[in-house]
Amino acid sequence: MESKQRIVVISDTHLGKPHGGAGSVDALRPLLRGADQLIINGDAAELHDARYRAKAAREVIALRDFCEGEGIDLVFIAGNHDPLIAERRAMRLCGGQVMITHGDVLHPAIAPWARQAGRLRQ
């Protein structure tokens, strides 16, 4: 019998930002019950904006601690608001049939400050 994993994929939680996102790890807890893996598809935290960076960093640590305590494998895909949170810009699931990417790397107008923007313009 093959065991199935519960993979939760979410995006744009913008942890650390007071409005327009999850706000804190506590808001995510109900979504993560029974999860084996959490993939945050970009903009996990509001690390791009200096006004929210410190709180966002604390929330990322709290999320990592929470996932570790619950045995949830946490995967970050970088987005335009947290471009340095991970090296990973995309990933594939289901034997390569499903591609996950935040999207800012696909078009420079989405995030002109992204490392890949110059290459995409060429």
pLDDT tens per residue across span 53-103: 999 999 999 999 999 999 999 999 998 888 899 999 999 998 999 999 987
Which pair of structure tokens corresponds to residue 23?
A: 């706000």
What pLDDT shows up at residue 64? 97
CB 7 within 8 A of CB 35: yes
Average pLDDT over residues 24-52: 93
- Mean pLDDT across the stretch 27-49? 94
* Percent over 70 (pLDDT), the chain: 83
Q: What is the pLDDT of residue 80?
A: 84
Q: Which residues contact 70 (CB under 8 A, 6 or more apart)?
A: 32, 35
Q: In this predicted structure, what is the pLDDT of residue 121?
A: 64
Q: Can you tell me the distance from the alpha carbon of 77 to that of 57, in angstroms, rounded to the nearest whole number? A: 16
Mean pLDDT of the chain: 87
Q: Would you state the pLDDT for residue 48?
A: 86
Give me the pLDDT at residue 23, please.
Answer: 79
pLDDT band with cut points at 50, 70 and 90 for residue 113? low
Q: Can you give the pTM of this predicted structure?
A: 0.83
3-state secondary structure of 8: strand
